Amino acid sequence: MGKSRVAVIWSLAAAVSVLTAGCGQGLLGGGSDGGGDEGPIPLGMLIPQSGSEAAIGPYMKNAAQLAVDEINGKGGVLGRKLELKVADDACDAQTAVAGANKLVTEGVKISVGGYCSGATLPTLPVFGKANIPMIIPAANSQELVDQHLKHVFLINGTGTQQATAAVAWMTKQGAKNVALVHDNTSYSKDIAVRTQRLLDESGGPETAILEAVTPKESDYSANINNILAKKPDFVYWTGYFQEGGLITRQLRQAGYRGAIMVGDGSVSEKLAEIAGPEAAEGVYATMTQTPDTLQGAEGWIASYSKKFGSNPGPYSNQAYDAVRLAAEALKQAGSTDGAKVISALEGINGFQMFSGPLKFTPDHTLSTGGFQILVVKSGKFALQDALK
């Protein structure tokens, strides 16, 4: 035993001395800060690259890279180039916190990522502690702004704005009895409950039923029976497209003839595939601007597909705008200092984005959500009403 004890101590001492000599990042090394005042300005982006939402990652990353390349092509910002650093959040809280800490360690100056609200929420204090402003392109749950954190800015429409758009369309369509259906995820329930509240206040259409379904099932007939028992003339589904497609099909099979509308999580051609072309025809959707419905974005779509060999997808435009907005804020702040960038972001007025001219509300959300109504025409979502 004596020998092995000596050996352990010696090898430990050797390892410690080698490692401390090797890098100065330890407690005694005097915290070297990656990304100082020289070289490119690093922007951090947390997106899902693995896990259930992995499909979204490339759309956001490519679009952000496109914006970085365009800005660098024009000489960069503050005489320095931009550099995009991407980390995987896997749509999971723990992975996201590790990823956010990784970006902080790499010295990013502004965060331009965030897709899953549940994974973005725990990263807020991580970036906040490091004094890094966050421009969140996609995640939009109300909890992100409810804490009134100075460094958090949302450039996607919020649940309140989506609910407002939904109620506006229901009223316009002359609906009387509305069934609201959600899947009990934070995002979906938020929209449904807010819509219900707006309907109660509006005095127009009434809420017939607020129904929750369990995601990932294949038979929703029990829920459909509950819904149809209340005889609604308008059904609003606020969850994702897999269940949305099934519910649409099963509603039609059960003989429902009224209007069906889905939220932005269901806007995918897969919805029409799952529901079948006949059942899906005429389904409405509340959605922010996508590359397909953007007017005057043909040039942008062309340069995206030329660079990456595929068309932009959901949240490509928001990710692209987040990087452009970050560059603009850096330019106006004249510095990479977090506090100065935050006040520059608060002061921005009329910066042109895909969603229109930008001005943040005191809550750091968009003053106009830019939600519009789409409709399914022969299996594809097309613009129905811009609600302007």
Query: Which residues of the shown chain bind another protein in the complex (CB under 8 A)?
Result: 1, 4-5, 8, 12, 16, 19-20, 23, 25-29, 31, 49-50, 54, 87-88, 91-95, 97-99, 101-102, 104-106, 117-118, 121-122, 125-126, 129-130, 141, 143, 147, 184-186, 189-190
User: In angstroms, rounded to a whole number, what is the distance separating the alpha carbons of residues 341 and 152?
Assistant: 12
> Which is nearer to another protein, 147 or 225 (by Cβ)?
147
Rounded to whole angstroms, what are the CA distances from 233 to 101, 176, 278, 367? 49, 7, 19, 31
> Which is nearer to another protein, 117 or 248 (by Cβ)?
117
Position 130, amino acid: A
Minimum CB separation of residue 208 from another protein in Å reads 22
User: In angstroms, rounded to a whole number, what is the distance separating the alpha carbons of residues 262 and 351?
Assistant: 30
Q: Which of 209, 267, 271, 197 is nearest to 234 (CA)?
A: 209
**Radius of gyration of the chain from its Cα atoms, rounded to whole angstroms:** 24
User: In angstroms, rounded to a whole number, what is the distance separating the alpha carbons of residues 304 and 324?
Assistant: 15
Position 155, amino acid: I
Minimum CB separation of residue 296 from another protein in Å reads 33
> Which is nearer to another protein, 55 or 302 (by Cβ)?
55
> Which is nearer to another protein, 151 or 249 (by Cβ)?
151
> Which is nearer to another protein, 67 or 144 (by Cβ)?
144
Rounded to whole angstroms, what are the CA distances from 110 to 43, 151, 273, 327, 361? 5, 10, 39, 9, 20
> Which is nearer to another protein, 159 or 205 (by Cβ)?
159
> Which is nearer to another protein, 159 or 244 (by Cβ)?
159
Minimum CB separation of residue 276 from another protein in Å reads 29
Minimum CB separation of residue 157 from another protein in Å reads 18
Minimum CB separation of residue 30 from another protein in Å reads 10
> Which is nearer to another protein, 88 or 233 (by Cβ)?
88
* 222-224-225 Cα angle (round to 5): 65
Minimum CB separation of residue 99 from another protein in Å reads 8
Q: Write out the two tokens for 159.
A: 């649940």
Element (H, E) at 374: strand 372-377
Give me the long-range contacts of 373-377 (CB less than 8 A, separation at least 24).
373/165, 373/169, 373/284, 373/285, 373/286, 373/287, 374/267, 374/284, 374/285, 374/286, 374/287, 374/293, 375/282, 375/283, 375/284, 375/285, 376/271, 376/272, 376/280, 376/281, 376/282, 376/283, 376/285, 377/281
Q: Which of 36, 46, 112, 123 is nearest to 80 (CA)?
A: 36
Minimum CB separation of residue 56 from another protein in Å reads 13
Minimum CB separation of residue 102 from another protein in Å reads 4
User: In this structure, what are the phi and psi dihedrals at residue 184, rounded to the nearest 5 degrees?
Assistant: 70, 15
Position 232, amino acid: P
Minimum CB separation of residue 21 from another protein in Å reads 10
> Which is nearer to another protein, 212 or 375 (by Cβ)?
212
User: In angstroms, rounded to a whole number, what is the distance separating the alpha carbons of residues 306 and 295?
Assistant: 19
User: In angstroms, rounded to a whole number, what is the distance separating the alpha carbons of residues 143 and 147?
Assistant: 7
> Which is nearer to another protein, 123 or 293 (by Cβ)?
123
Q: Checking phi first, is residue 350 left (phi over 0); if not, alpha (psi -120 to 50) or beta?
A: left
Minimum CB separation of residue 15 from another protein in Å reads 8
